[in-house]
Amino acid sequence: MAERRTARDLLRTIRRIQKITDLTVLLESVLHEARAFVEADAGTLYLARDGRLFFSYIENDTLFPEGNPKEKYVYSENSIPIDKNSLAGYVASTGEALMIDNVYDIKSNVSYSFNPSYDKLTQYKTQSILVVPLMKSDTVVVGVLQLINRKDRHGDVTAFNADDRLYITYFAEHAADAIEKADLSRQMVMRMVEMAELRDPCESVAHARRVGDYAVELFNRWAARHGVPLHERILKKDIFRAAAILHDVGKVGLTDAIIAKQGEFNEAEKALMYRHTLFGARLFTNSRSIWDRIAYEVTLNHHERWDGSGYPGHVKDIFADDIAFGPGKKGKEIPLSARIVAIADVFDALTSERSYKKAWSEDQALEFLQEHAGEKFDPELVQHFIDIRDVLHAILKQAQQ
């Protein structure tokens, strides 16, 4: 095991999470960084809402040594009440941290108790635990960070100590502030989607969220298979989700006649519809910002097709009044970000019910992607997408709850 970390290491860790702007990526990183800092085998991050604590992220190196992406979607709508009966509920209720050497030996003169149901279900043995509130400066608890089974240098479970409690409590204070800021950023992104929804009901907030989830999981799979370092994956995921969510924001610039059109478009109408990719790209032209660069790639190119049959193709000037749509981009000429979002967007459109069609099954949608791999879609990415079908299923089931 690594040597215990210092206060200087803690400050570096805090600086890393403060750079993350996407709420989902931040929550995942907060739990992972806290666990790594005190070498905890497992952990749970809860968010507080409407008097309850919702499971936001879980990690467990013993049960899921390579991670288990679907679990974060399965558990996110499960919750426990904020009261003094459970460990996490007590911490959220009182704002006090708890540090327990053995959860199966809690003294009887306290209100809280440990629920062993998860241990029984998974055959996992929880022993030591450290639970701290995620509390904003105004004393409002936004969530709870729960760390389980501290490991010593031999890999054996041991108790958390006073330094662990001090460091993680301090870390949690900064994490809560970062979460509040990231939540505000997410709200601004979703308001942009709501503007697009006013123009096109099919481009709903729910659709945009799912496309963001699918796209990030597909990117993570691709990045892991291509040996992209974890720190770079976190940076790209942070930016990528927002870009995927905003993929069709350019539809705010379309006319009612085009938005409401049912059936086939004639050539003139197609040219007008194609413009929404340009309208979206025009919002993200700051080339010095990696956030803008990825959002630009996605909004402009997510309707391009692997065989070059997509749109808008090569356009010399996206700000020109008289737009000339060139030949479609082909293969890896299309940015990776756009190739990923194209798959996520089509999958969600197929599995969603619309006024003009019923929802396809997940199997039917995946078969469609496979049939058109190498034609409409990047064949390697389609295979990666199929390989994470359990995660896709969890995202879809969560959306239906």
Contact 272, 369 (CB under 8 A): no
How many Å apart are CA 98 and CA 169, to the nearest integer? 10
Query: The domain 200-400: what is its CATH number?
Result: 1.10.3210.10
Q: How far apart are the first and last CA of the chain?
A: 41
Q: With contact defined as beta carbons under 8 Å apart, do 114 and 106 qualify?
A: yes
Query: What is the gyration radius of the CA atoms in the chain, in angstroms?
Result: 23
* Cβ atoms of residues 131 and 146 within 8 Å: yes
Identified catalytic residue from 72, 237, 251, 329:
251
Sign of CA dihedral 60, 65, 69, 71: negative
Residue that has been written with the tokens 């939540």 in this structure: 183
Long-range contacts (CB closer than 8 Å, 24 or more residues apart) made by 214-217: 214/244, 214/343, 214/344, 214/347, 214/348, 214/385, 214/392, 214/395, 215/240, 215/241, 215/244, 215/340, 215/341, 215/344, 216/24, 216/25, 216/240, 216/241, 216/244, 217/69, 217/388, 217/391, 217/392, 217/395
Residuewise pLDDT in 10s, the chain (401 residues): 445 578 889 999 999 998 888 888 899 899 999 999 999 999 999 999 999 999 888 899 998 877 666 666 665 568 899 999 999 999 999 999 999 999 999 987 899 999 999 999 889 999 999 999 999 866 789 999 999 999 998 999 999 999 999 999 999 999 999 998 888 888 888 888 887 777 766 667 889 999 999 999 999 999 999 999 887 888 788 889 999 999 999 988 888 788 877 778 888 888 899 999 999 999 999 888 888 999 999 999 999 999 999 999 999 999 998 888 999 999 999 999 999 999 999 999 999 987 778 999 999 999 999 999 999 999 999 999 999 999 999 888 876 65
H-assigned helices in 160-204: 162-199
Q: Tokens standing for 261?
A: 């059109």
Cα torsion 209, 399, 345, 24: sign: positive
CA distance 203 to 196: 7
Residue closest to 237 by CA, chosen among 267, 217, 258: 217
**Domain ranges across the chain:** 7-181, 200-400
CA–CA gap between residue 339 and residue 332 (Å, rounded):
9
Question: 144 - beta bridge partners?
Answer: 46, 133
Q: How far is 14 from 20, CA to CA, in rounded Å? A: 10
Active site residue 251: yes
Distance from C-alpha of 177 to C-alpha of 185, rounded to nearest angstrom: 13
7-181 has which CATH code? 3.30.450.40
Is the Cα dihedral 170, 174, 180, 183 positive or negative? negative
